Amino acid sequence: MDKNSNSESDLSVVDTEPAFILQARANERPQDPLVSCLLPAFNEEGNILPMLQTLHKLFDEQGLRHELIVIDDGSRDATVEKVLSEINQLPVTLLQLSRNFGKEIALSAGIDQANGDVAVLIDCDFQHPPDLIPSFLAQWRRGYDMVFAIRSDRHDESITKRAVTHVFYTLLNFGERNKIPENTQDFRVLDRCMLDALKAMPERNRFMKGLYNWIGFTRLGIKVRTDPRLHGSSSFNFFSLLKLGATGLTAFSNVPLRLWTVVGGSVSVASIAYALYIVIDTLLFGNDQSGWPTLVVAIAFLGGIQLMSIGILGEYIGRIFTEVKQRPAYFISRITKSTEQLKQEAKK
Ligand code: UDP
Ligand code: MG
C-alpha cells in the first residue's frame, strides 16, 4: 500500500455488522458531539506539545467540540512542564498518575475521566497518524461504536517479535467465537456506550485489546499506516511485551491451563504404550531391558512438564491474588484543567 494513502478501498477490514443495526446506531449520534481525545504519555517531552497543537487545529478545522486529556503516566522528563506551559492555550485536562502504571492503566484512567460523546485514543508520538481521525469519526457517525486501526504492515518489527505475536494471538483466539483480530492498535474511536462498558469492568489485570473485544457493540477495523516516532524511543521492550502477553492470555484464555491436561494425557498414553512394549519385548523375545537411561529421561521429562504446569497455574493464581485484593487500578496525584475546560464544565 502507498504509505501516504488511506483510500476508501482500505477500509472495512473487519466489518460484519448488519446494515439495519448500523442505521439504528447512526440515528442516535448527536448533532454536535463532544470529542474526548485521550493521550497516554510517558516521557514524551519532545512530542506532547506538537501533538496537542496538531489535534487542536484538526478538531477546530472539523468544527468539533473537543477536550484533550493527557494522562501523564509518571513521566521522569519535562512532559508535565511542557503541557502546563501551554495549558491555557489549549482545551487540555492533565491527569498526573502517582507513578508509572503502564499504558493499559493510563488509558483506563483517561476513559474514567472522559466527558465526551465519543473518545479518540491515540499515542502522542505521532506513530498513529492524526490526519486519519476524521475518517475514523466518519465511520463512527455511520453507526460503528468502535473504529480501530489495524497495522497495514509490520516490516519495522523483528521477525522474532512478529512470530511471538502470532503465537500469542493463535493461543488467545484458540476455540474462541469472538476472536481478537491480530495486528490491532490502540489507535481507536470509542462511542460513549463503549466507554461506559469499559468503566463498568473492574478488573486490575487490564489487557485493553481484549476488553474492547469482549464488550461487543458494532465495530469496524481499518488498515492504517504506522509512522515513525517523532521524538524519543519506544518504552516497550521485548520483556514488557511478553509481560503484557501473559496478562492478555491469563485474563482472556484458559487454553494454557487446558493444554496441560492434553499434554498429561498424551504422556500417560505414551508411557502405557511403552510399558506394553517392554513387557512384550521381554516375555516374547527375551531381550534384556537396560533400564536406567530410559528412567532418567522419563523422570527429567515428567519433572519438566510438572514444573511448567505448576508455573502456569501460578500465573493464574497470581492474577487471582491481585484481583481479590481489590486495590484501585491507579492513583491520580493531580488534575489540572485549562481555563477553557473549566468554563465548558461550568456551563453544563
Ligand atoms: N506509554 C504510557 N505508559 C508507559 C509506556 C508508554 O503511557 O508505561 C505511552 C507512550 O507515551 C505513548 C504510547 O503509550 O504515547 C505508546 O508507547 P510507545 O510508543 O513507547 O510504544 P510502541 O509505539 O512502541 O508500542
Ligand atoms: Mg509508539
CATH number where 83 lies:
3.90.550.10
- Cβ atoms of 161 and 241 closer than 8 Å: yes
pLDDT beyond 90 at 106 = yes
269 and 193 belong to one structural domain: no
In the three-class reduction of DSSP (H, G, I as helix; E, B as strand; rest coil), residue 130 is classed as helix
Digit-coded pLDDT (tens) for 121-135 = 999 999 899 999 999
Residues 6+ positions from 120 with CB-CB distance below 8 Å: 35, 36, 37, 38, 133, 136, 137, 188, 189
What pLDDT, on a 0 to 100 scale, did the predictor assign at position 246?
82
At 197-244, the pLDDT tens digits run 999 998 888 888 888 988 888 889 888 888 888 888 887 777 877 888
Protein residue with its CA nearest to atom 18 in ligand 1: 234
In a domain, 95, yes or no: yes
Highest mean pLDDT: which of 98-107, 237-246, 256-265, 279-288? 98-107
Q: Domain check: are 196 and 83 in the same one? A: yes
pTM: 0.79
295 in the same domain as 147: no
- Buried b / exposed e over 251-280, threshold 16 CB at 10 Å, is bbbebbeeebeeeeeeeeeeeeeeeeeeee
Within 13 Å of residue 250, how many CA atoms lie on the same side as its CB?
Answer: 23
Ligand 1 in reach of 165 Cβ (< 6 A): no
Q: How far apart are CA 336 and CA 348, in angstroms?
A: 18
242 and 333 in a single domain? The answer is: yes
- Domain shared by 333 and 307, yes or no: no
**DSSP secondary-structure letter at 160?**
H
Confidence of residue 101 (pLDDT cuts 50, 70, 90): very high
In terms of domains, do 50 and 194 share one? yes
State which residues form the domain around 332.
8-252+328-347
**69 and 164 assigned to the same domain:** yes
Give the model's pLDDT for residue 324: 84
- The finding on whether 48 has its CB within 6 A of some atom of ligand 1 is no
Contact 220, 17 (CB under 8 A): yes
Place of cell 502477553: 245
Q: Quick check: CB of 234 below 6 Å from ligand 1?
A: yes
45 lines ligand 1 (CB under 6 A): no
Grid coordinates belonging to 323: 484481583
Q: Is residue 3 part of a domain?
A: no
Q: Is the CB of 97 inside a 6 Å radius of any atom of ligand 1?
A: no
Asked, for residue 306, whether it belongs to a domain, the answer is: yes
Position 57 in a domain: yes
Q: Report the alpha-carbon distance of residue 126 to residue 54 in Å, rounded.
A: 10
Q: Is residue 1 a part of any domain in this protein? A: no
Whether residue 59 lies inside any domain: the answer is yes
Please check whether residues 284 and 182 belong to one and the same domain: no
Residue nearest to atom 22 of ligand 1 (CA): 234
Whether 240 and 299 share a structural domain: no
Residue 300 shares a structural domain with residue 338:
no
User: How far is it, in rounded angstroms, from Cα 116 to Cα 97?
Assistant: 21
Distances (CA, A) of 195 to 117, 121, 320: 9, 11, 25
* CA-to-CA separations, 190 to 116, 194, 213, 266, in angstroms, rounded: 10, 6, 12, 45
When divided into structural domains, the chain yields a total of 2
Give CA–CA dist 89/65, Å, rounded: 15
Cα 274 to Cα 258: distance, rounded to the nearest angstrom: 25
Q: Is residue 2 part of a domain?
A: no
Q: pLDDT at position 312, please?
A: 83
Distance 125 CA to ligand 2 centre (A): 6
Asked whether residue 191 carries a pLDDT value surpassing 80, the answer given is yes
pLDDT > 90? residue 94: yes
Is the pLDDT at 14 greater than 70? The verdict is: no
Same domain, 224 and 280: no
CA–CA distance, 261 with 251 (Å, rounded to integer): 19
205 found inside a domain: yes
Q: Are residues 231 and 259 in the same domain?
A: no
